[in-house]
Amino acid sequence: MWRTPAGPQMLTGARRDLFRGVIGVMVDHLVAECREGVTAWRYGIDDFDRWDVEQRLWLVEQVALGLLSKRPPPPPAAIIEAAFDAVLAELTELIKMEFDDPELAATRSWRRDVAGVLGDGSEPEDLSGWRAAVTRIGESIQGVFSYDRRDAFRDADPRATAAFLVRRGLPEDFFAQLPPLRTIQQTQLSIDRIQHLVFEPW
């Protein structure tokens, strides 16, 4: 489950299908990087991009387990929020690819899937509108992001950081948590767990 503004939830229905698909594509990229030496895809999210591929796979596993399983939500951590934001960035990139090559939508339309999640019958006309739509979906699941305040507190008085974390109801190690170093075997287990969640029937 995930800590949503409405309380802990596991995604269902159209939202579940959307995120299963996006996480599946994202893991394909990471597996290709891990096994074939493909250049890492960067999402512009430092709290995700800066880790080794094995650590990024672990982070995506935590997001997948949180969104798609009944396990308790992962502990609040900047790195987990950043990984979820990277999943949203992947979705935005998939939509951009549809704009660049409309034939891609013939097999699966990410815009149609996003519109189905929003459920209001409207579709944006340009990429900026679709970015806003993805942001709306992300906020409905995550609420307010806190990980992106790290830089603002980097050189600040530690008391200001502590006060911010208390206001947000976050643990004092929210910004300090690191993804674990992973062995080959542990990484394969992460891949297997993610793929089970992505491809399991529902």
- For residue 52, give Cα distances in angstroms to 27, 28, 42: 14, 16, 12
pLDDT at 182: 94
pLDDT in tens, 26-47: 999 999 998 888 899 999 999 9
Q: Determine contact, residues 60/84, Cβ cutoff 8 Å.
A: no
Q: What is the pLDDT of residues 162-177, one digit of tens each?
A: 999 999 999 999 999 9
Residue 200 has pLDDT above 80, yes or no: no
Confidence (pLDDT) at 113: 95
Average pLDDT rounded to a whole number, residues 174-201: 93
What per-residue confidence (pLDDT) applies to 190? 96
Contacts of residue 116, Cβ cutoff 8 Å, sequence gap at least 6: 14, 18
**Among the listed ranges 7-11, 36-40, 73-77, 177-181, which one has the minimum average pLDDT value?**
36-40
Q: Using 50, 70 and 90 to split pLDDT, how confident is the model at 201?
A: low
Lowest mean pLDDT segment, chosen from 25-29, 41-45, 117-121, 183-187: 117-121
Task: Kindly report the average pLDDT of the chain as a whole number.
Answer: 93
* Under 8 Å between Cβ of 74 and 112: no
Q: Is the pLDDT of residue 120 over 80?
A: no
What pLDDT does residue 163 have? 94
* Average confidence (pLDDT) over 95-117: 89
Please give the Cα distance from 147 to 49 (Å, whole number).
14
The 10s digit of each residue's pLDDT in 50-73 is: 999 999 999 999 999 999 999 999
